[in-house]
Amino acid sequence: MADRGPDRRAGRREVLIGLGCAAALGTAEVLRPRHLMSVMPPGRKLADLVPRKFAGFAEGGAGDIVVPRVEGSLVATLYSDLLTRLYLPDGRSDPSIMLLVAYGPAQTDLLQLHRPEICYPALGYQIVDRSLSVLDCGAAGQIPAVNLTAAEGGRVEDIIYWTRVGNELPRSFGEQSWARLRESIAGQVPDGTLLRASAVRSGTEPNFDVIRSFLQSLVVSLPRASGPVIVGR
């Protein structure tokens, strides 16, 4: 009688491969996003949601704002809305604050928020310092943020930023990826926002205190409709 061992082993392998494929397909089906999660109010733009004047600061001038957007590139497809403004302090010697807010309607593997750690070096800057922080915005809550210092030639720029993916505020690319995964498991493609405030040093002292005060005042003064877009629900 012929040895049927090899046939049985081959059959078992085929069964295991089939089960593995079925499990992979089941996992892919679970993770397949079904709904676009957008918190941007219909017909509104970032310019409508971010106040031009609030406690101690008012919009004024153009400023030399580092903008990563390049028309015709992949970066240009990441954001459906991009806001840049220069804010001047009222009657104080504090430096002006450069604000950039970028909104992306769908955070996917190919299209996701570009963090300043990527954008600044792409434009010739060197990131010379990075640390994590938390902005205490009183009744508006606490916002996990990132502090950066970027330098290019004689220009040194201090930066505080945060990102929102769905209802989460990830502070690293890894946390950002996990946030998208959790939304995918829930069957949703999340939208996202990047908010960045910065100031150019006039001497050797960092500008983080004035940037932090600016952001805290901004968050507190946001209209009700702006909250979900800027800092999540």
pLDDT at 93: 78
Q: What is the pLDDT of residue 17?
A: 45
> Can you give the pLDDT at residue 106?
57
> What's the rounded Cα separation, in Å, for the pair 80 and 103?
6
Cα–Cα distance, 78 to 167 (Å, whole number): 19
pLDDT digits (tens, 9 = 90+) for 173-211: 888 778 777 777 777 777 888 999 999 998 888 999 999
102: tokens are 């970028």
Q: Could you tell me the pTM of the whole model?
A: 0.78
Q: Rounded distance, CA 7 to CA 39, Å? A: 57
Residues of the chain with pLDDT under 50: 2, 10-11, 14-31, 71, 73-75, 108-111
The tokens describing 55, both together, are 């406690």
Spatial contact of 167 and 182, defined as CB atoms under 8 Å apart: no
Phi and psi at residue 206, to the nearest 5°: -65, 155
Residue ranges per domain, the chain? 1-32, 36-230
pLDDT, tens digit, for every residue of 153-178? 999 999 999 998 888 888 888 887 78
- pLDDT attached to residue 56: 86
